[in-house]
Amino acid sequence: MYRYELDLVNVAMRRNTIAHVDTGAGKTMIAVMIIKEVALSLEKQPFEKKLIIFLAPTRNLVQQHFNVVRENTGLMVEYYHGGKVTNMEGKKVDDWDAAVWEREINKNEVMVITHQILLDALRNGFMKFEMICLLIIDECHHAIASGNHPYASIMKEFYHKSVNKPRVFGMTATLETRKGVSSAGDCEAQMTALEIILDSLVYTTQNRTEVEHVKQSASLSYSFYEPCEVDHADLKLKLDCSRWKFEVQLLDMQLSLQRHYKDTDEKHGILRERLSDDHDKIIYCINELGLLCAYEAVKICIAEAPKAIEKCGFFEDSCSKCLHFLEEALSIIENALHNGHENIFELEMMVAAGYISPKLYQLFILFWSFGGAKEVSCIVFAKSVITAKVLDMILKGVADLSHFTASYLTCNATSVDAMPTKLQRETLESFRSGKVNLLFATGVFEEGIDMPKCSTVICFDIPKTQCSNVQPWRKARQTSSRFFIMLERDNVQQIEQVCDIIRSEHSINDNACVVKPSNFEETKSYHVEETKPHQMRALTDHVLPNNEDPTENISSKHTTEPPPGAGTTKRKELHGTTPIRALSGTWGDDGADLYAYKISFKCNLVDVKYSSFVLLLESKLDDDVASLEMELYLVSKYVNCKVSSCGKLHLNAEQAAKGKCFQELFFNGIFGKLYIGSIYSEEPRQFLPATDKKLWNSSYMYFLLPLESLDTFKISWEEIDSCVYAIEFVKKSSFSRAEKQSVDLIMTDSESTNMIHFANRSVHKDVDITNMVVLTIHTGKIYSVLEVLQDETAESPFDGDVKQFSSFKNYFKQKYEIDLVYPGQNMLLLKQAHKAHNLLVDFNGEGILHGKKIKGDTYKLNKDRQRYYARLPPELLIIIDARIDVVKSLYLLPSLMHRIESLMLASQLREEITGHMTDIHIPISLILEATTTLRCNESFSMERLELLGDSVIKYVVSCDLYLRHPNNDEGQLSSVRKWQVRNSTLYNLGIGCRLQGYIRDMAFDPTRWTAPGQLPLRSYPCDHGVETIEVPIDAKYHTEDIKILTGKCCDMGHRWLGSKTISDCVEALVGAYFVGGGLTAALHLMRWLGISCELDPSRVNEAIKVASLHAYTPKLDLLQSLESKLGYEFAVKGLLLEAITHPSNQDLGGGYCYQRLEFLGDSVLDLLITRHLFNKHSDIDPGEFTDLRSASVNNENFAYAAVRRNLHTYLQYCSGSLQTQIPDYIKFFATSSTDTNSLQTKKSPKALGDMVESIAGAMLLDTKLNLDEVWRIFELLLSPIVTPAKLELPPLRELIEFCDSKGYFVKDACRSNGNAVIAELRLQLEDALLTAEGTGTTKKVARAQAALNMLSQIEKRGTSRKNNGKENREEKINNINTKEKEKDITETKVSISDTSKTDIPVLESIKTQKGGPRASLYELCKKMQWPMPSLTSSEHKSKTPIEIGEGVDKRTGFNSFESRISLTIPDYSVIELTGKPRADKKSSFDSAALLILYELQKLGKLKIR
Ligand SMILES: [Zn+2]
C-alpha cells in the first residue's frame, strides 16, 4: 500500500472525495479499504439497516469489483446488472418488484451495481436513498458527460435533495471524456463541475504531478449554507403597503403641480424609481441577509437621502416622500425586531429568528475558520452595492471578528451609490498596505483593474454567466491562495449556475486559443488576449471604475419582479371560507323561537307530488333569500321550488328534541349512514343515534321538517313522532333482540298467515303497502315498498353476488347473525331512497349554438340505478309512518339548501358592503354570480360581470382623474390610471376587504353536503397547518406549484385559490353593483373597497367652464354642421371644438387639443359598448364576450365609423403626414368592398379613432356625465355593432347567415379527443338531417371545419348557399322583427324535458302580447331544430268597417290581414293553417303562430301548460 493511498483513505473518511486513480485492481482495493472502514463504523449502530453501494458503469466492472470486494471483506455482498438473474425467482433484475428488492436489500451489506439499475430502483421507490451510507462511484467522470447520465440523475434527484446524505467516494482515471476538448482549462471546468455534482473535493498530493497540473489553483472550496426558513411575509406586506402609500402620494403631488413645468414628469419619475429602488433594496436584504441587515440597509438609505433631497430644490416636498417612506420602513423593521425575541445573543438563535440569514451566518463561520491571524487579507465579492455596505456595517458589530479591519469598495458611475474615484483609490491603497484586511466589494475588479494580492477570496453571491462577471473570479483565483464559493445547500439551480460559469469561462479561453494559436501553452497568454481592449486604461495604472453591469445593480428590475404573482393565475394562495353567520343557533334541546320559511315543490309532471317542508332557523333571512324561487333538474323532469316566509314559530323542548330525531334518522339514513363502525374496524358497529357522537354544532343549526299538506302551514308531528319511535325501536332491539322475538311469537298461527310481519308491527295482507316507507333494522337504510314478491321467501335460494349462502335466511344468519322468525314470509321488493345528486344544473339540455354548453353524466346515473333495488323479508323492516312524498322531497333538499346557503353567504357579503343603507339594493343573485367562479359548474359565473366591472372601474378612475387634475396631460393621467386598475392593485383591495372568504370556487358536491344532525360520509381533515378558519396572509400559504389543485376544501374550509380569482372577483362585484344599482351603487362599492373616486358635479362645471372659454365663433358653421351629423347639439360648443382639435393644431389654436378628452372618451366608449354587449348577449360564454368586446372597442373600429359617417372632414389638424394618411385611408375605404374584413388590412390613421373617442368624452361632459344620453348618440354612430356570428370564422359565419335566411337552425356539440377538438354540426332541412364533423386544435377551428363540410353538402344538394339578394319567395317569421324577437325569447320559457325527438316538449306559457306567439314558436323550432315555418299574408280591403280581433285588441277598420303558416316537421308532415284576420300584418302572424301551437298540442307534438 502506497503512502498516497493511505492518505487518500484517511481523507475520504473525513470528507467526500474524488480520487484520481489509475485503472486496474489497485483502485478497487482503495474502495475496499473505505468499505471496511465504513462497515466498522456501522457496527456501532446495528439496529438501523444501512447499505454500501458500489456503482460502476459496465457489467464487466461490476463483476470485477464484486470479486475483489467479496474476497477482501467479510461482508455480505452481491452484484447486479441489467439482464442478470441472481435470485431464486429467476427473474431478471429489470423485472424485479418491490418484494424482491426488499429481500435483496435485507440480505446484503454491499451491493455492486450498474448505475441504471440503481437509478430505476430509487425512482421506483424500491430502495430508499436514506438507507445508503456510502456511495462509491467508479468512473465518476461520467456524471458530467451529459446532463442526464444516470450518475448525474442519481445525484441531482436523490443525493442533493436528501437530508441524510451518504458519504461519497468517486474514482476516475481521466477527465477527458469529451472528444476534442483537452485543454487544461477545460479539464479544470470539468473537475469543478464534477466536484459540485458529487458534492466532493478532488484529492491531490504533491507527488502526483499530473493531478497537480490539472488543477491550477488548488484552493477552490465550496461553502454550503442552509436554505432560509424564515420568510417575514407579514413584514414584507407592511413594507409593500407603505411603499404603495407613498407612491400614491408622489403621484398625487405630481398631478397637482402646474403642467407648464416641463421637467415635472421626469423628476417625479426619478423619485418614484428611487422609492421603488429603496424598497427593493430593503426587501432584498430581508431575503438574503436577514432582518438586522435590512435595518442597517434602511439606515444607509436614510443617510444617503439628504443629499438627494438637497439636489431636488423646488421638488423638496416630493423628495421628502422618499425619506418618509424610509423612516416608516425603519420603524416597521424596528417593531418587528422588538416584537420578536428581545434577548437573542446567540447567533444560532438569531438565524432561527430570521435576524440574520443562514448565508450570512455561514460567512461568519468562514471568517472564524481563518483563526485570529492578523495577516489574513480577504476580499468578499457581493453582487450588489447595498450588500457590500451592509456587510461592512454588520461586521463592525461582531465582537468575535474584531481582528478584521473592514472596508467596502463599490462603484457604479451611473448610480447614486457610486463611490468617488478618489475614495476608491484610497480604499484599495489601504488594503494593499494592510491597514484594511477585509474588503467587501462589488464586481469592481473587472478587466483592466489590478486585483490586489490577498490570501482569501470569498464569492458571497454567484455572478451571472456573463464573461464580464466571471472574469474577476478567475483573476481572484489566480492571485489568491484560497477561494470560496458560497452555495445554498441542495440548490441544484445554483450548482448548475456555477458549472455554467466555469464552462463559459473556458469557452472564452478556447476561443482565445483559436485567435492566437501560438499562445496555447500558458494560461497567462489567454489573459492578455482577452483583456486587450481594456489595456489602454490599465496602462494609466489608475483604478478606474468600470461600469457595473446595470442588471447586477440591486436597484434594477430583477429583484423588483418578486414579490410577484399577486393577482396572477400562476400564484395560488390558501384561503379560508367565511362561515355563514345566519346558520348559527344558540338553541339546544330546550326549545327556541325560530323564523319559519315554507318550502314548496311543484313538478312539471302533474302527477308527481312532493311534500312541503319548513326551514326553521334562529336568524331572519334576507327578503330575497326568503322569497327564493328556483328550479331543480331531475333526470326527466324538473321541480320548481319556492321559499316563503311564515313569520316566527316557537318550538318547545320536546318538539326540538323530536325535530332532531327526524333529521338524524332521515338525513343519515338516506345520505349518510345510520350504523357506524364495523366488525372489521376498531370502532364497534353502532347505531348512530345511540352513540354519544356530537351531531349538532351551534355554528350550523337549522331544522328541515315536513309539513302536513301543501296548502296549510302545519308541521307534520305525526310523521316526526314515527321517526322518534323508529329510533327508539332500533335502540331497544339492537340491545335485546331475544326479548323482541318472544313478543312477536305470541301471535297465533291462524292470525299469522293473514298478516305481513314487519319488525315493529304486523299488517293485514289486504292492506296496500305500496310506497310504504321502511327502515331496515340491520343496515339502517331507508326504502319504500314497491311490491310483495309472491314467489320468493327467505328460504328461496340466495342469488346474490356471493354464492356461499344456501338461502336468504342463511345469508342473514351468517352475515348479520339474524335468525329469521318468519322465513316463510314473502319477501318485499324495495326501492332505496336516492343518494343526493347535484340537481342545480340542467344536465339534459344539449348545447345550442352560442348557448351554454354543459355535459352531464347520465350514464353514471343509469348505472347507479341498479343498486337502488333490494329484496328483503318484512320482519327486518321497521315501518315509518311517513309519506313517500316526504322522502322524495328529502332528495331535493341538499341541492336546494346548497343554493340557499350560497345565497345567505352572498347576502352576508352584501350586508358587509352596504350595511343598512336602504337606497342601494343589489339583487342577491348578482352578488352570488359575482362570487361564483366557472369551476363551480353553475349556470352562472363571474366572468361576464368581471368584464363589465373592469370597464366600470376604468371609467370611474378616468373620470375622477380627468376632473381632479385639470392641468395634467393625458400621458400622465394614463400612467396613473394604468397603475390604479392593474390586477395587483385590485387584488390588494380585495384582500384588504377579506373578499377571499366569500369566493365560491368548487362545484357543489352532494356527498360532502350535510344537514345539521348528519355525520359526513367522508372527511377531509385539514393538513394545511392552519388552526383558524381564516388563513393568515403569509407567503408560506402562497405557491406557484402547478401540482397544487385549487378549489377543493378541507373540513376547515381552507382551499387553494388562484390569486387572480381575487382580483377578478373585485371586478365582478363592481360589475354586479353597476348592473344592479347603476353608477351610484358601483361608486359606493368602489369606496368600500378603498378606491377613492368622486365624480363631483362642481368639478364637471369647472371643466365645462374652461372649455366654454375656447373661441369658437369663427368655426360656428363647421361645428353646427358636425352637430347635425352627430344628431346632438352641444350646449358648450368649446367642448366640441376641443374634441376635434388635433395636437398638431394646438399651437395655432388656443393651446388646447383633444388628447385629454380622448383619455376620458376612451373609457366612456369602453364602458358603453361593454354594457351594451352585456345586456344584449346574455347567453354567450365569457370567451366570446371578450372577443366581442375587443372587436368592438378598438381604434380601428372607431376610425372606420368616423369615415363611414363622414366625420373625418371636421378634424382640425396641421400635420403633413396626416394630410396624406387620411386621404389615403379614405381612398382605400372607397375602393375596397364593404366587407369589413378587407378594411382590417389597412391601418387607419390613429387620429380618426381618437377623434371619435374625444367626441364621446366631450359629450359626456356636455351632458354632465349622462352616460345614457351619450349612448343614444353613439349607438347609432357606431352601428352596426358586432354580433357573435360575425366573430366566427368565415365558413361558420356563412353557414349561420345561410340558416338565418332560410329559417334553419344549426346545433353543435363539441368533444375533445386528446389534443384535438371534434365539432359536430347538425342541420335539419325540411327533408333531411345533415351532419358534418370537423377537427381542430380549438373549438373555433373545429367548428369552422365542420361548417365547411356542411356548406359543401348543401351545395351538392343543389340548394343555393349564396344568398343572392333577398329571396323573396316567402317570409320567415324570424326575419320579421329581429329586435322584438330577441327581446321576447329571453322572456319566454320553453322547457323541453328531453332533446330526443320522441319526447314531447313542454311550453310553460304563451305570451299573448304582440310578438309573443311568434317568439314561442321560434323558440320551439330552435329547440326542436325544425325549420322555421313560412308565413304569407294577404290583405283584404273592405268598403264597410269590419270588426277584427278579440278582447283588448278588438277594433274596427277597413283593412285586415290574414296569414297562412306552413310548418315542416321533419320525418312527420307539413302542417298548414290560416290565422284569423287582424288589423295589421304582424298581429295576423301572431294569430297564425298561436293556432299552430295549439294544433301541435292537438297532434301530441307539444304540451302547453
Ligand atoms: Zn385546512
Ligand 1 mean position, distance from CA 926 (Å): 29
Helix H or strand E segment including 704: strand 703-706
Ligand 1 mean position, distance from CA 582 (Å): 23
Ligand 1 mean position, distance from CA 1341 (Å): 42
Ligand 1 mean position, distance from CA 446 (Å): 52
Q: pLDDT class for 738, splitting at 50, 70, 90?
A: very low
Ligand 1 mean position, distance from CA 576 (Å): 8
Ligand 1 mean position, distance from CA 1021 (Å): 7
**What is residue 14's predicted lDDT score, i.e. its pLDDT?**
80
Ligand 1 mean position, distance from CA 1062 (Å): 19
Ligand 1 mean position, distance from CA 1499 (Å): 59
The mean pLDDT value for 1267-1283 works out to: 86
> What letter represents residue 541's amino acid?
D
Q: pLDDT class for 505, splitting at 50, 70, 90?
A: low
**What is residue 82's predicted lDDT score, i.e. its pLDDT?**
78
Partnered with residue 1055 across adjacent β-strands are 575
Ligand 1 mean position, distance from CA 1005 (Å): 18
Ligand 1 mean position, distance from CA 1051 (Å): 7
The mean pLDDT value for 617-627 works out to: 90
The mean pLDDT value for 825-842 works out to: 84
CB atoms within 10 A of CB 513: 17
**What is residue 1397's predicted lDDT score, i.e. its pLDDT?**
45
39 against 527, higher pLDDT: 39
Ligand 1 mean position, distance from CA 850 (Å): 39
Among 193-202, 266-275, 1061-1070, 1480-1489, name the most confident range. 1061-1070
Q: pLDDT class for 188, splitting at 50, 70, 90?
A: low
**What is residue 87's predicted lDDT score, i.e. its pLDDT?**
67
**What is residue 1272's predicted lDDT score, i.e. its pLDDT?**
93
**What is residue 242's predicted lDDT score, i.e. its pLDDT?**
83
867 against 524, higher pLDDT: 867
* Contact residues for 739 (Cβ-Cβ < 8 A; gap 6+): none
1227 against 1287, higher pLDDT: 1227
CB atoms within 10 A of CB 83: 8
**What is residue 733's predicted lDDT score, i.e. its pLDDT?**
75
Ligand 1 mean position, distance from CA 1084 (Å): 34
Query: pLDDT by residue (tens digit) across 1288-1308?
Result: 666 777 777 777 777 777 777
Ligand 1 mean position, distance from CA 1059 (Å): 18
Q: 333-337, 536-540, 852-856, 1055-1059: which has the minimum mean pLDDT?
A: 536-540
Q: pLDDT class for 1262, splitting at 50, 70, 90?
A: very high
d(Cα 811, Cα 805) in Å, to the nearest integer?
5
Query: pLDDT by residue (tens digit) across 110-129?
Result: 999 988 889 888 888 888 88
Residue ranges of the alpha helices (H) in 673-773? 717-735, 737-744, 749-753
Eight-state DSSP code of residue 174: -
Ligand 1 mean position, distance from CA 1054 (Å): 4
Ligand 1 mean position, distance from CA 1031 (Å): 9
> What letter represents residue 23's amino acid?
T
Tell me the three cell numbers of residue 1250.
Answer: 381618437
Ligand 1 mean position, distance from CA 234 (Å): 20
Ligand 1 mean position, distance from CA 931 (Å): 21
Collapsed DSSP state (helix, strand, coil) of residue 986: helix
d(Cα 628, Cα 641) in Å, to the nearest integer?
8
Ligand 1 mean position, distance from CA 1013 (Å): 23
Ligand 1 mean position, distance from CA 1048 (Å): 10
Ligand 1 mean position, distance from CA 702 (Å): 25
Ligand 1 mean position, distance from CA 837 (Å): 25
- For residues 1138 and 923, the answer to whether their CB atoms sit within 8 Å is no
761 against 179, higher pLDDT: 761
Q: pLDDT class for 1068, splitting at 50, 70, 90?
A: very high
Burial of 1136 (0-12, 13-18, 19+ CB in 10 A): buried
406 against 466, higher pLDDT: 406
Ligand 1 mean position, distance from CA 183 (Å): 58
Ligand 1 mean position, distance from CA 601 (Å): 37
Ligand 1 mean position, distance from CA 998 (Å): 16
For the cut 80, the answer to whether the pLDDT of residue 334 exceeds it is: yes
Chain position carrying cell 350535510? 1010
Q: pLDDT class for 136, splitting at 50, 70, 90?
A: very high
Q: pLDDT class for 768, splitting at 50, 70, 90?
A: confident
Question: Closest Cα partner for 1179 from 747, 709, 854?
Answer: 854
- In the chain, pLDDT over 90 holds for what percent of residues? 16
- For residues 293 and 283, the answer to whether their CB atoms sit within 8 Å is no
**What is residue 479's predicted lDDT score, i.e. its pLDDT?**
59
**What is residue 372's predicted lDDT score, i.e. its pLDDT?**
65
Chain-wide mean pLDDT for the chain? Answer: 77
**What is residue 173's predicted lDDT score, i.e. its pLDDT?**
74
d(Cα 1125, Cα 1141) in Å, to the nearest integer?
17
Query: pLDDT by residue (tens digit) across 237-251?
Result: 888 888 887 887 777
- For residues 1249 and 1195, the answer to whether their CB atoms sit within 8 Å is yes
Ligand 1 mean position, distance from CA 1053 (Å): 6
Question: Closest Cα partner for 841 from 671, 1008, 635, 670?
Answer: 635
d(Cα 902, Cα 907) in Å, to the nearest integer?
9
Ligand 1 mean position, distance from CA 580 (Å): 18
Ligand 1 mean position, distance from CA 114 (Å): 44
Collapsed DSSP state (helix, strand, coil) of residue 439: strand
For the cut 70, the answer to whether the pLDDT of residue 539 exceeds it is: no
Ligand 1 mean position, distance from CA 32 (Å): 52
Ligand 1 mean position, distance from CA 1026 (Å): 6
Ligand 1 mean position, distance from CA 945 (Å): 30
Collapsed DSSP state (helix, strand, coil) of residue 554: coil
* Contact residues for 677 (Cβ-Cβ < 8 A; gap 6+): 683, 684, 685, 686
Among 925-939, 1276-1290, 1376-1390, name the most confident range. 925-939
**What is residue 546's predicted lDDT score, i.e. its pLDDT?**
31
For the cut 50, the answer to whether the pLDDT of residue 524 exceeds it is: no
> What dihedral angle (degrees, nearest 10) is formed by the CA atoms of 309, 313, 314, 316?
20
For the cut 70, the answer to whether the pLDDT of residue 722 exceeds it is: yes
> What dihedral angle (degrees, nearest 10) is formed by the CA atoms of 517, 523, 529, 530?
130
Among 326-340, 721-735, 1251-1265, name the most confident range. 1251-1265
The mean pLDDT value for 9-35 works out to: 79
Ligand 1 mean position, distance from CA 1004 (Å): 18
For the cut 60, the answer to whether the pLDDT of residue 639 exceeds it is: yes
The mean pLDDT value for 970-988 works out to: 84
Ligand 1 mean position, distance from CA 991 (Å): 19
Omega prior to 1280 cis, within 30 of 0: yes
What are φ and ψ of residue 302, in 5° steps? -65, -40
- For residues 831 and 887, the answer to whether their CB atoms sit within 8 Å is no
d(Cα 445, Cα 432) in Å, to the nearest integer?
14
Helix H or strand E segment including 260: none
Q: pLDDT class for 679, splitting at 50, 70, 90?
A: low
The mean pLDDT value for 480-491 works out to: 74
Question: Closest Cα partner for 1088 from 914, 917, 954, 945?
Answer: 914
Neighbours of ion ligand 1 (CB under 5 A): 1022, 1024, 1050, 1052, 1054
Ligand 1 mean position, distance from CA 1057 (Å): 13
**What is residue 898's predicted lDDT score, i.e. its pLDDT?**
94
Omega prior to 1401 cis, within 30 of 0: no
Burial of 572 (0-12, 13-18, 19+ CB in 10 A): buried
Ligand 1 mean position, distance from CA 906 (Å): 22
Ligand 1 mean position, distance from CA 1025 (Å): 7
Ligand 1 mean position, distance from CA 993 (Å): 21
d(Cα 1114, Cα 1116) in Å, to the nearest integer?
6
**What is residue 55's predicted lDDT score, i.e. its pLDDT?**
92
Ligand 1 mean position, distance from CA 1022 (Å): 4
For the cut 70, the answer to whether the pLDDT of residue 1446 exceeds it is: no
Query: pLDDT by residue (tens digit) across 982-1013?
Result: 888 899 889 888 899 999 998 888 888 899 99
For the cut 60, the answer to whether the pLDDT of residue 342 exceeds it is: no
CB atoms within 10 A of CB 13: 15
Partnered with residue 132 across adjacent β-strands are 51
User: What is the separation of C-alpha 689 from the centre of its chain, rounded to a whole number of angstroms?
Assistant: 42
d(Cα 475, Cα 1503) in Å, to the nearest integer?
92
Ligand 1 mean position, distance from CA 1047 (Å): 12
d(Cα 168, Cα 197) in Å, to the nearest integer?
11
Ligand 1 mean position, distance from CA 511 (Å): 57
Query: Buried (b) or exposed (e) across 125-138, using 16+ Cβ within 10 A?
Result: ebbebeebbbbbbb
1445: left (phi over 0), alpha (psi -120 to 50) or beta: left
Partnered with residue 1333 across adjacent β-strands are 1320
Chain position carrying cell 318550538? 651
Residue ranges of the alpha helices (H) in 1321-1424? 1339-1356, 1378-1387, 1412-1424
Question: Closest Cα partner for 1085 from 1103, 1104, 1072?
Answer: 1072
Ligand 1 mean position, distance from CA 524 (Å): 62
Chain position carrying cell 301541435? 1496
Ligand 1 mean position, distance from CA 619 (Å): 28
Ligand 1 mean position, distance from CA 1044 (Å): 13
d(Cα 1202, Cα 1226) in Å, to the nearest integer?
10
- In the chain, pLDDT over 70 holds for what percent of residues? 78
**What is residue 1159's predicted lDDT score, i.e. its pLDDT?**
93
Ligand 1 mean position, distance from CA 684 (Å): 29
For the cut 60, the answer to whether the pLDDT of residue 211 exceeds it is: no
- Distances in Å between the Cα of 1382 and the Cα atoms of 1023, 1173, 1386 are 52, 14, 7
Ligand 1 mean position, distance from CA 1249 (Å): 52
Q: Does the CA dihedral 452-455-461-463 come out positive or negative? A: positive
Q: pLDDT class for 859, splitting at 50, 70, 90?
A: very low
DSSP β-ladder status, 773-776 and 877-880? antiparallel
Please calculate the CA angle 1246-1265-980 and round it to the nearest 5 degrees: 65
- For residues 587 and 1385, the answer to whether their CB atoms sit within 8 Å is no
Q: pLDDT class for 531, splitting at 50, 70, 90?
A: very low
Q: 9-13, 168-172, 989-993: which has the minimum mean pLDDT?
A: 9-13
**What is residue 30's predicted lDDT score, i.e. its pLDDT?**
84
- For residues 1144 and 1218, the answer to whether their CB atoms sit within 8 Å is yes
Ligand 1 mean position, distance from CA 128 (Å): 30
Q: Where are the beta strands (DSSP E) in 742-816?
A: 755-757, 762-764, 773-776, 782-793
Partnered with residue 633 across adjacent β-strands are 638
Ligand 1 mean position, distance from CA 1049 (Å): 7
The mean pLDDT value for 11-37 works out to: 79
d(Cα 872, Cα 743) in Å, to the nearest integer?
21
The per-residue DSSP string of 326-362 comes to HHHHHHHHHHHHHHS-TT--SHHHHHHHTSS-HHHHH
The mean pLDDT value for 1252-1279 works out to: 92
DSSP β-ladder status, 869-872 and 826-832? antiparallel
**What is residue 838's predicted lDDT score, i.e. its pLDDT?**
84
Largest interatomic CA distance in the chain: 135
For the cut 50, the answer to whether the pLDDT of residue 294 exceeds it is: yes
For the cut 90, the answer to whether the pLDDT of residue 1241 exceeds it is: no
Ligand 1 mean position, distance from CA 997 (Å): 13
- For residues 452 and 431, the answer to whether their CB atoms sit within 8 Å is yes
Ligand 1 mean position, distance from CA 695 (Å): 21
d(Cα 1478, Cα 1481) in Å, to the nearest integer?
7
Question: Angle 316-339/233-256 helices, nearest 10 degrees?
Answer: 170
Ligand 1 mean position, distance from CA 910 (Å): 26
Q: pLDDT class for 1405, splitting at 50, 70, 90?
A: confident
For the cut 80, the answer to whether the pLDDT of residue 1086 exceeds it is: yes
Ligand 1 mean position, distance from CA 562 (Å): 26
Q: Does the CA dihedral 733-738-743-749 come out positive or negative? A: positive
Ligand 1 mean position, distance from CA 567 (Å): 22
* Contact residues for 303 (Cβ-Cβ < 8 A; gap 6+): none
Ligand 1 mean position, distance from CA 1143 (Å): 59
d(Cα 513, Cα 1210) in Å, to the nearest integer?
70
Ligand 1 mean position, distance from CA 276 (Å): 36
Omega prior to 472 cis, within 30 of 0: no
Ligand 1 mean position, distance from CA 486 (Å): 38
Ligand 1 mean position, distance from CA 575 (Å): 9
d(Cα 581, Cα 866) in Å, to the nearest integer?
41
Ligand 1 mean position, distance from CA 579 (Å): 14
